[in-house]
Amino acid sequence: MATKTINETTNAFQGAEAVAPSQPAAAAQKWQPVIAAFICNWCTYAGADMAGTTRRVYPATVRPLRVPCTGRIDPLLVVKAFEQGADGVIVSGCHPGDCHYVQGNMVARRRFAALRALLEFLGLDVRRLHFAWVSASEGMKWSHLVGEVTAAVREAGPFQGWGASGEPHRVPVSLPEPPAPPRGTPRPEDQQATAEHLQRLAAKLLDEGLVTTVIGYAAGSLPPQMVPAFATCADDARTLGWNEHCVNNLAVYLPAAQRQGGKTAIVAKQCDARSVVGLLQENQVKRESVVLIGVSCPGVVVDGKLALKCYSCDGEAASVCDWTVTPEGAQPGAQNSGARRAVAADPREALIGFLEALPAADRWAYWQRQFAHCLRCYGCRAVCPLCYCSVCIAEKNRPQWIPVTIDAKGNMTWNVIRALHLAGRCGSCEECTRVCPAGVRLDLINHRLAMEIEKRFGYHSGDDPGAAPPLVTFRPDDAGEFVR
């Protein structure tokens, strides 16, 4: 049976919109969908106005929310609409090429694609979310659009709510076990050799004053744990180690190191280096302040098993690195280690495929159960190198965008927004998933978005420090097939 969520007293206190308890049946018959429509001032709002002046008849279900441009529509607005009880949402603006601000809708088009892909992956009934280009002269289109959307939302029924688990009889979904890893444990002598070369390199960088700190890994208090270690002198460098338990993404320490000044070296696996590339792209780290010590990595072990991200990785040092350390030695630049490591298909894609093959309602139930466990510890945010905002959206309180309450509703908003904030930026280091005490499959969410971005815009994050992030650029011919 479905596991109940921990806190169930919320509905007792819903405010003025709540149905009067004395008339439930009658209210159900008269249910009118509430559809929030985020529409741009210059085109769709004017078009909706025209629908009125030309006396077009269409359902009175829409609450228009006027914005200057679709480019201003933060996905958070759509997410909040659902959180606050909208049964459906329409997002509409000028046709591409006709934007009053020239290109706002072009950037928006990319953002909407990510938003839609994510919400669909989470199991939101796609009959509830609609995108359209409606110009100022298309009063007729507007009235038809509202009619179609209203019909679709009626079919979908009243939205149970962001964080409601839907039909309680649904059998909980369990993800299938991933396939066996493509390779066994690495040779201890190789690890030891790499560690020694690393120690010598670190000591050299520190002794020669090339860096003020080397951030690497050292033994933690619970063997075989390896934890981040900060070496500021050659003696410290001797404590640095290397093995398959070096899981942390040390790039998380770079934005603060940049602010402190001086030069910092970090040991960077290929996945970690993708985060560094992201930080470089976004000007959070200056290239000259960081020395990247790439390392030939056979894959890391999490909970006794090879991490899923490592299945498809060849373990070579990323091309952006200043040094490469392998069992053979430490060489300047990004060198190929020569080890032909067995790689396999990324198992996350199969898991994503499994979820996408499920009916949306089952998928929704799966994610609701996941988010019900979320503790809002913000471990995911804390370990992520790209969550560097000095004031996180969750910390803003005027207004309090992300509910503080640790319930399924607030958790859903938080996790959705975080995923969208990372869209096109996440390097898939999976640290968020490793640290989550509730076992939320954040890796699948982030990877699904990465897949969408790659499919639509041909962009793979973490490759090129000079590339423009995909969600702040656009191409005039970006696909917009999901927009009416």
Partner 1 sequence: MDSLRDPLGWRLNDEGVARWLEELLRAGKRVIAPVENDGLRLFQAVDSPAQVCLVSGKTRWSPKEFLFPRTEPLFSYAVESDTVRLDEGPAEIQEQVLFAVRPCDSAGLTRLDAVFTGGEVDPLYAARRERTTVVTLACPEAEPECFCTAVGGSPRGEEGSDLQLVAAEQGWLLRPLTVKGERLTAPLGEWAERATEEAWERAREALQRVEESIRESTVARGWAAVLEGSFGLPVWETLGRRCLGCGICTYVCPSCSCFDVNDRGDARCGERCRSWDSCTFALFTRHATGHNPRPTQASRYRQRVLHKFAYYPQLHGGEFMCVGCGRCVKLCPVGMSIQESVRTAVAAAQEVGDAQR
Give contact residues for partner 1 (rule: CB under 8 A): 1, 3-4, 6-7, 9-10, 12-13, 15-16, 172, 174-175, 220-223, 225-230, 248, 252-253, 373, 375-379, 381-383, 395, 400, 403-407, 410, 431, 434-435, 437-439
The 3-state DSSP class for residue 17 equals coil
Name the minimum Å distance from CB 426 to partner 1: 17
The 3-state DSSP class for residue 382 equals helix
Please tell me the number of Cα atoms within 13 Å of 271 on its side-chain side: 24
Q: Indicate the residue among 395 and 475 with the shorter CB distance to partner 1.
A: 395
Residue in 323, 318, 334 with CA at minimum distance from that of residue 293: 323
Estimate to the nearest angstrom the gap between the alpha carbon of 186 and the chain centroid. 31
Cβ atoms of 57 and 143 within 8 Å: the answer is: yes
Q: Report DSSP letters for 444-477, one per residue.
A: HHHHHHHHHHHHHH---TTS-TTSPPGGG---TT
Q: Indicate the residue among 13 and 30 with the shorter CB distance to partner 1.
A: 13
Q: Indicate the residue among 376 and 418 with the shorter CB distance to partner 1.
A: 376
Cβ atoms of 73 and 66 within 8 Å: the answer is: no
The 3-state DSSP class for residue 133 equals strand
The 3-state DSSP class for residue 231 equals strand
Q: Report DSSP letters for 413-449, one per residue.
A: HHHHHHHHHHTTT-----HHHHH-TT---HHHHHHHH
Q: Indicate the residue among 134 and 250 with the shorter CB distance to partner 1.
A: 250
Per the document, the length of the chain is 484
Q: Indicate the residue among 135 and 165 with the shorter CB distance to partner 1.
A: 165
For residue 68, the 8-state DSSP code is: S
Name the minimum Å distance from CB 3 to partner 1: 6
Q: Indicate the residue among 153 and 285 with the shorter CB distance to partner 1.
A: 285
Q: Indicate the residue among 9 and 53 with the shorter CB distance to partner 1.
A: 9
What is the C-alpha separation between 166 and 164, in angstroms, rounded? 5
Q: Indicate the residue among 6 and 361 with the shorter CB distance to partner 1.
A: 6
Residue 3 pairs in a beta bridge with none
Strands (E), 94-199: 129-133
Name the minimum Å distance from CB 66 to partner 1: 20
